[in-house]
Structure 1
Amino acid sequence: MSQRLFMRVWVFVSLLVFLAACASPPAIQGTDRSAFSRTGRFAVTVTEPGTAPQAVQGGFAWRDSGQTQQLDLANPMGSVLARVEISPARAVLIRSDGSREVAPDADALLAQVVGTDMPIRGLKQWLQGEVDTAAAQVTRGENGRPTALVSNGWAVTLSRYDTEGPRMLVLERRHDAQQVRVRLVVDGA
């Protein structure tokens, strides 16, 4: 194989790998056709003085059927690493190896697993372009949709709306010296 042909093949394969790395997991299926669902990508960065920033990224799939929610978290290649199942009675994290962790609610579960608070309870409303009950300092755009708010210590920016809700959400929180930034980009319903 000539060097020129080899380079073309290498560029093509590299492009395919890059595109696969941006993959979202498939939408979560269910029997309730009226359920709200979103798929997309996430990036979480935690910074603290004196340490290197910690970052993780991947894909997500969210399904909300009213009383229950499911959240799949995937690696950048799209393989589901864990599922969070939320009901009024409890929240369960199920890892791909079958191991489980249980907590009274989603916020407590993620704090237990990740080691820092994550606003899952508010995320349910924010993904739909709604304001949660704890929200303050709400800013709305010309169309009346929320574009920014503060809720339970989280500064939330919502933008790029489609008919279902915002396609970009940025959540930031400072607690003591720790800063957490979560960025969600919605790819589809």
Structure 2
Amino acid sequence: MLSRLFYTANSVFLAALCLLSSSCMHKTLINDKVFERTGSFYIVEKNSSNILRAFQGTFFWNDCDEYYEMGLSNFFGKREVYLKVSHENALLRTADGFYLQSLDVDSLVSQFLGYKIPMNSLRLWLKGSFAYNDFPEKLLTDKFNKPSSFMFSEWEVNLSSYDIFGPRKIILQKTQENSSITIKLIVKN
């Protein structure tokens, strides 16, 4: 009798624990104030004859109402670049202690990489949407009416493999006279 009571109490405790943990998990999934993505990134810069620079590793993206942040790490787990963008400014920090700060994130990234990446637009593309003032050209949608490809500010953008939070594969390509840049984000979570 005592063992049956103990077994029942354990079962109730485990069921309550499962419900509690799943309800907490559900709250973080539906909390629209925090948006998180992690995965792999690839950046390849080419000229007409060969590859100039190539980077790959893992990324994280955390997005809150007040700010968003992105980190790029090499495959050994060492953080190489950290970017934090708020309404007031943008800050970029590298692993060797190099800091850049600007009021405009696109200018900051351009100063660091040598070319602009539309970071504030990328913030929304990760969610499968656009800003009210973004006017993509040549917009195509998939069978679920989600954006699949478009042109924006000289970048050809492809979004695919959607889950409930947004695209799991984001590819940006920019081709100029004798060079091209390809950026791929492959979302794991």
Match of residue 150 from structure 1 = 151
What residue is the counterpart of 1:136 in the other structure? 137
Q: Which residue is 1:170 aligned to?
A: 171
Deviation of the 1:40 alpha carbon: 0.7
- Tell me how far 1:152 sits from its aligned partner: 0.6
Instruction: Within 5 Å, give how 1:107-146 maps onto structure 2.
Output: 107-132=106-131, 133-146=134-147
Letter in 2 for 1:55: A
Contact residue 131 and residue 146 of structure 1 kept, 8 A: no
Structure 2 Cα separation of the partners of residues 54 and 44 of structure 1: 8
Specify which structure has the higher proportion of helix: 2
Distance 2:65 2:135 in 1: 19
Structure 1: segments with no counterpart, 5+ residues = 1-31
Asked if 1 retains the 8 angstrom alpha-carbon contact of 2:59 and 2:71, the reply is yes
Q: Cα RMSD between the aligned structures?
A: 1.7
How many pairs align?
157
In structure 2, the CA distance between the partners of 1:134 and 1:90, relative to structure 1 (3 Å rule), is: farther
| Higher mean C-alpha deviation, range 51-60 or range 138-147 | 51-60
Q: Which moved more, 1:79-88 or 1:152-161?
A: 79-88
Offset at residue 139 of structure 1 (A): 0.7
My pick for the range that moved more, 126-135 or 151-160, is: 126-135
TM-score (norm 2): 0.77
The answer for the alignment partner of 1:36 in structure 2 is 35
44-53 vs 138-147, which deviates more?
44-53
Unaligned runs of 5+ in 2: 1-30
Letter of the 1:134 counterpart: F
Q: Highest Rg: 1 or 2?
A: 2
SS at match of 2:188: strand
